[in-house]
């Protein structure tokens, strides 16, 4: 922590500030310039509330110098984390492709789409059985029946599966079926749920909250890591901005920034970021070029009758063509899909 004193701070005030720092367990280094005095407060206390110092008389500003996350940082682990699930790697040179419907709707639907996913060369099937909906009046998912259908469809096509967990009581049943838990954007700071997911060893993909900073996102990863589960994947899915012509603003700048600060893999989800089918393809291309470690894309063979998010689902043929284009872009930056 660095404490900048006011130009007119009195010696008495400075003494009081130093006493407080010492009492809170910090070692103090003092730098006096002509106009500014700076106190360096040394000692690792990642959860220290810096406002305790900021409100003391004579203090102008206080800066925290240690990132509040530890295990999620590059300082803690300098090599990229590669998560291996069966024969699939997430975080390596080869991009992890995840695709499938928004919601599991029927046996026929999920088998048909799992076929397409396998045909594209993607290795991971996505699909929701428990759906978080902003309206209490909307379709809420098939529940465990959906999980069973999805597992069967994944197995029949030699795919992994990923599905969303919304509350602690669902962890046990979902874990029986899934390879990866997905934590939704609105639950990114559901700390109770994060802790419980930290107690499992099943990989967890944490979607970035709609208005979360990258630091907050990494703090959510820290909750899982700190409870003992090292298998954390991040997923950028668009943030809220003032723009009304798109549903969200796909924050691709987050990808190189996360790669610099953290060793965790980052997946990009252009379907939720844009919300409209015709914008998924350009944003998927851009995500690959920006360095994403994988993509999550929604597809549907009959989007007009999809029970949720049909308008953002790609048709199977469009999806197959897109994957080929993405492969060409990946090659241009010396990666593969």
Annotate 193-228 with b (16+ C-beta within 10 A) or e (fewer).
Answer: bbebbbebebbbbbbbbeebebeebbbbbbbbbbee
Output the smallest distance, CB 314 to its own copies, in A. Answer: 12
* Residue of 154, 298, 312, 319 that binds its own copies (CB under 8 A): 312
Position 199 contacts its own copies (CB under 8 A): no
- Rounded to the nearest 5 degrees, what angle is found at the Cα of 175, between the Cα atoms of 170 and 181? 85
H or E stretch at 19:
helix 11-23
Output the smallest distance, CB 63 to its own copies, in A. Answer: 5
Between 201 and 240, whose beta carbon lies closer to its own copies? 240
Position 6 contacts its own copies (CB under 8 A): yes
Residue with tokens 């993909």: 205
DSSP 186: G
Output the smallest distance, CB 155 to its own copies, in A. Answer: 29
Exposure on the CB side of residue 302, measured as CA atoms within 13 A: 10
Residue 332 vs residues 43, 123, 279, 288: alpha-carbon distances, Å: 46, 22, 22, 10
Is the Cβ–Cβ distance between 314 and 273 less than 8 Å? Answer: no
Q: Quick one: angle between helices 277-290 and 254-261, nearest 10?
A: 40
Instruction: Retrieve residue 85's tokens.
Output: 């699930």
* Residue of 149, 277, 300, 319 that binds its own copies (CB under 8 A): 277
Position 79 contacts its own copies (CB under 8 A): no
Position 269 contacts its own copies (CB under 8 A): no
| Residue 177 CB neighbour total at 10 angstroms | 18
Position 197 contacts its own copies (CB under 8 A): no
Instruction: Retrieve residue 194's tokens.
Output: 């994060």
Between 177 and 250, whose beta carbon lies closer to its own copies? 250
Position 169 contacts its own copies (CB under 8 A): yes
Is the Cβ–Cβ distance between 41 and 66 less than 8 Å? Answer: no
* Residue of 288, 299, 314, 337 that binds its own copies (CB under 8 A): 288
Which range, of 57-65, 105-113, 145-153, 174-182, touches its own copies by CB under 8 A? 57-65
* Residue of 22, 57, 65, 317 that binds its own copies (CB under 8 A): 65
Output the smallest distance, CB 84 to its own copies, in A. Answer: 26
Position 336 contacts its own copies (CB under 8 A): no
Is the Cβ–Cβ distance between 28 and 41 less than 8 Å? Answer: yes
Residue numbers 138-167 binding its own copies by CB under 8 A: 138, 166-167
Between 112 and 261, whose beta carbon lies closer to its own copies? 261
Position 229 contacts its own copies (CB under 8 A): no
Position 242 contacts its own copies (CB under 8 A): yes
* Residue of 275, 320, 321, 335 that binds its own copies (CB under 8 A): 275
DSSP 315: P
Which range, of 45-53, 79-87, 92-100, 144-152, touches its own copies by CB under 8 A? 45-53
Position 241 contacts its own copies (CB under 8 A): yes
């Amino acid at each position: 922590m660095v404490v900048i004193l006011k130009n007119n701070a009195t010696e008495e005030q400075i003494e009081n500030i130093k006493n407080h720092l010492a009492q809170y367990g910090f070692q103090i280094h003092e730098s006096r310039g002509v106009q500014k005095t700076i106190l360096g407060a040394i000692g690792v206390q990642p959860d220290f509330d810096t406002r305790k110092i900021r409100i003391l008389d004579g203090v102008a500003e206080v800066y925290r110098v240690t990132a509040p996350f530890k295990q999620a940082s590059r300082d803690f682990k300098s090599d990229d984390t590669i998560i291996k699930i069966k024969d699939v790697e997430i975080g390596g040179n080869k991009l992890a492709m995840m695709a499938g419907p928004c919601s599991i709707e029927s046996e026929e639907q999920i088998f048909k789409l799992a076929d397409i996913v396998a045909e594209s060369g993607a290795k991971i099937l996505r699909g929701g059985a428990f759906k978080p909906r902003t309206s209490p009046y909307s379709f809420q998912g098939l529940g465990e029946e959906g999980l069973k259908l999805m597992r069967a469809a994944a197995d029949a096509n030699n795919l992994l599966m990923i599905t969303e967990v919304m509350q602690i009581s669902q962890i046990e049943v979902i874990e029986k079926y899934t390879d990866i838990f997905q934590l939704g954007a609105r639950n990114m700071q559901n700390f109770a749920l994060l802790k419980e997911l930290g107690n499992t060893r099943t990989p967890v993909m944490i979607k970035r909250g709609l208005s979360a900073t990258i630091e907050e996102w990494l703090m959510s990863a820290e909750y899982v890591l700190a409870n003992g589960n090292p298998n954390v994947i991040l997923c950028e899915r668009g943030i809220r901005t003032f723009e009304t012509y798109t549903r969200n603003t796909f924050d691709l700048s987050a990808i190189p920034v996360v790669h610099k600060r953290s060793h965790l893999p980052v997946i990009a989800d252009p379907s939720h970021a844009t919300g409209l089918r015709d914008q998924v393809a350009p944003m998927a291309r851009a995500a690959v070029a920006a360095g994403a470690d994988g993509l999550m894309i929604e597809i549907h063979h009959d989007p007009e009758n999809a029970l949720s998010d049909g308008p953002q689902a790609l048709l199977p043929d469009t999806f197959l063509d897109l994957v080929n284009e993405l492969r060409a872009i990946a090659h241009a930056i010396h990666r593969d899909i």
